[in-house]
């Protein structure tokens, strides 16, 4: 188990309202989190298998497991700086929120 900050809970709760992979700015853009910080948080959640993310290169690989050059390209307003553009909660993420 790991400690979540209020921002982390806001992100996970917003994702809980979606059923499938959703454009990142559609579901999280209203939270007012700086895109770089949001991308870093999503990578952490993806590494813990709480969320599923996709980047422009297809299935997203968290930075900690990424080989350089496999990430997507940054497109302001469509992707986060790390290339993530779709995001969704996993079964593990839903279970985590019920605890």
For residue 61, give every residue at least 6 positions away whose Cβ sits within 8 Å of its Cβ, in sequence order, or none.
55, 67, 70, 71
- Looking at residue 51, what is its pLDDT? 92
Q: How many domains does the chain have?
A: 1
Q: Is residue 1 part of a domain?
A: no
Nearest-CA neighbor of 72 among 80, 15, 64? 80
- Looking at residue 50, what is its pLDDT? 92
- Looking at residue 95, what is its pLDDT? 92
Which residues form the domain of 79? 6-98
Q: Is residue 70 part of a domain?
A: yes
Cβ–Cβ < 8 Å for 65, 29: no
Q: What is the CATH number of the domain that holds 82?
A: 1.10.10.10
CA–CA dist 51, 45 (Å, integer) = 6
Q: Is residue 77 part of a domain?
A: yes
Classified as helix, coil or strand, 30 is helix
Mean pLDDT by 10 residues, the chain (99 residues): 75 85 87 88 90 72 42 68 88 89
Q: Is residue 66 part of a domain?
A: yes
């Amino acid at each position: 188990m790991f400690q979540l900050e209020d921002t982390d809970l806001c992100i996970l709760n917003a994702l809980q309202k979606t059923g499938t992979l959703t454009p990142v700015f559609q579901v999280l853009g209203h939270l007012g989190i700086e895109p770089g910080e949001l991308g870093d948080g999503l990578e952490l959640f993806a590494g813990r298998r709480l969320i599923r993310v996709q980047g422009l290169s297809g299935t997203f690989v968290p930075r900690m497991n990424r080989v350089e050059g496999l990430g997507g390209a940054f497109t302001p307003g469509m992707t986060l700086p790390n290339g993530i553009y779709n995001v969704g909660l996993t079964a593990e993420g839903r279970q985590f929120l019920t605890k």
